[in-house]
Amino acid sequence: MKHDRAGLPTPESTHSFWHSEPNAFLLGHRTTESLPAEADIVIVGSGITGTSAARFLAEDERAKGKSIVLLEAREACWGATGRNGGHCQPLLFDRSPKVAAFELKNVRTVRSYIERHDVPCEWRSVTACRTFWSEDTLKDAEDEIAHLQKAAPYLASKVTIIKDKAAFEEHRVKSDCVGATLTDEAGSLWPYKLVTFILEKLVKEGKLNLQTKTPVTQITSSGSMHTLHTPRGDITSKTVILCTNAYSSAILPQFADLIVPVRGEMSALFPPKDSTILPDSYGMVGALGQPANNDDYLIQRPYHGVPNPAGHFMFGGGHGAADQPTRCVSNDDVIDEGSAAYLRAALLKVLNLTGETEGLEELKPAAQWSGIMGYSRDNHPWIGKVPDAEGLWLAGGYTGHGMPNGTLCGKAVVDMMLAEEAGEEPGGVVERMISAGDIPKSYVISAERIARAREFPTVEVQDRDGILVTGFE
């Protein structure tokens, strides 16, 4: 089956709440007026992964003196990281223990950077409360947790199952919920503010040349050199790191069936008058007739101590209520009213919201928008060298779960690239990193993995039939 390539990011997009307080320094930013003709390293994409790759390059002695150019199709952090749910939550029991440990390490790395640099991005350490609304979905979770208790007791100790009404009430969950899991060490944040803090710091320190509104339309290669073609001219480099997630196949057609663009819906909703802040971040599995293989997700902004402290519910999902196609869709310039209407009404039905809720049928939106996620065919990110393309690297395909992965995936691809440039044997580098827990084996790109992933149903079929693949460990 032939798969169409992703399109490029649309020039115009729906208005994400996260962009309501834009970074003035970075708007329309081009560190140099003209696009450089060449660079030692070119990164494409300024979300959490591309920005992290730039940060770790700047911190690594092996990259000292190298010129680094980052190309972004739109404004800085205007793609999925600037449109997501604001979660930084490790999924511990529905991943393999090695993947779960990597996600936990990633969350700690993000939190550590924010604390060390005092980043004003509304980081809040929370318990992740994942609610299940059918016996089947809860049973699956219980089985996975039982397996985790045997395979990785330390990780399992961070997960608790609750089923009784008193516990539901404590976590503000409606009593008709079947069960819920509580996971330690989750976080919520304003993702755009974290990413733009890092980018601004790198640019001002002279460690990065950032070129916004510079989409890469094509890459052509000759020998060991790659030329990236843009409407503003071409830039050539021996080393290119694509942090393009959902849009990867616009540049790498061979990944069209492996990383598929999927449009999701997000909202920022005003809480009921006089309500109090929720204790947790939330996931809803199979709530209100939604498909079990697509969670709804919620964090809440603070009520005080930040700009615009309105306690907005940052609520996303509603896939099953969509009026428009979502799979193989690259444009985020439309709002799906079916999903948006579901999001406005759902929280009043699944959570015990405090304040003036009498007669309230839906919450008032401060903003509604869409974003494009990159769904992986085998449900794991694709990290590493692109086969048969010397000097071309890829990190993406997070299946809507990029915040607890992207930072260390950006670091991993940098470590692979710099070690290989230093003369280390590629296979040995990867094995060393897997052994150290720096990247799960199931994330690493290889020709074998590509062939095996194509044995799975396509992303479209998985969605249609409610299949949740587990990939390869």
> What is the 3 state secondary structure string of 393-462?
EEEECCCCCCCCCHHHHHHHHHHHHHHHHCCCCHHHHHHHHHHCCCCCHHHECCHHHHHHHCCCCCHHHH
Same domain, 199 and 182: no
Same domain, 255 and 265: no
CB-based contact 254:447 (threshold 8 Å): no
Residue 101 lies in a domain: no
Same domain, 353 and 396: no
Return the DSSP state at 27.
Answer: T
Q: One digit per residue, pLDDT tens: the chain, 473 residues? A: 567 999 999 999 999 999 999 999 999 999 999 999 999 999 999 999 999 999 999 999 999 999 999 999 999 999 999 999 999 999 999 889 999 999 999 999 999 999 999 999 999 999 999 999 999 999 999 999 999 999 999 999 999 999 999 999 999 999 999 999 999 999 999 999 999 999 999 999 999 999 999 999 999 999 899 999 999 999 999 999 999 999 999 999 999 999 999 999 999 999 999 999 999 999 999 999 999 888 999 999 999 999 999 999 999 999 999 999 999 999 999 999 999 999 999 999 999 999 999 999 999 999 999 999 999 999 999 999 999 999 999 999 999 999 999 999 999 999 999 999 999 998 999 999 999 999 999 999 999 999 999 999 999 999 888 876 654 44
User: Is residue 222 packed enough to be buried (19+ CB in 10 Å), middle (13-18) or exposed (0-12)?
Assistant: exposed
Residue 45 lies in a domain: yes
Candidates 303, 317, 311, 312; CA nearest to 346 is 317
Same domain, 368 and 453: no
pTM (global) more than 0.95: yes
Domain final position from 374, 396, 413: 374
Residue 35 in tokens: 């696009």
CATH code: domain of residue 62: 3.50.50.60
Same domain, 183 and 300: yes
Same domain, 277 and 349: yes
The total of structural domains in the chain comes to 2
Residue 115 lies in a domain: no
Q: Which residue has the tokens 């460690």?
A: 207
Residue 8 lies in a domain: no
Same domain, 63 and 199: yes
How crowded is the C-beta side of 247, counted as CA atoms within 13 Å? Answer: 26
Same domain, 172 and 298: yes
Domain final position from 374, 395, 426: 374
CATH code: domain of residue 154: 3.30.9.10
Same domain, 460 and 444: yes
Residue 27 lies in a domain: yes
Same domain, 286 and 431: no
Same domain, 458 and 388: yes
Please tell me the predicted confidence (pLDDT) of residue 470.
56
Residue 249 lies in a domain: yes
SS3 7: coil
Domain final position from 346, 374, 402: 374
Same domain, 164 and 196: no
In order, the DSSP letters of 165-218 are: HHHHHHTTB-TT--EEEEEEEEEE--HHHHHHHHHHHHHHTT--EEE-S----E
Residue 268 lies in a domain: yes
Residue 116 lies in a domain: no
State whether the Cα torsion 245-268-291-147 is positive or negative: positive
Quote the domain boundaries for residue 173: 125-187+261-374
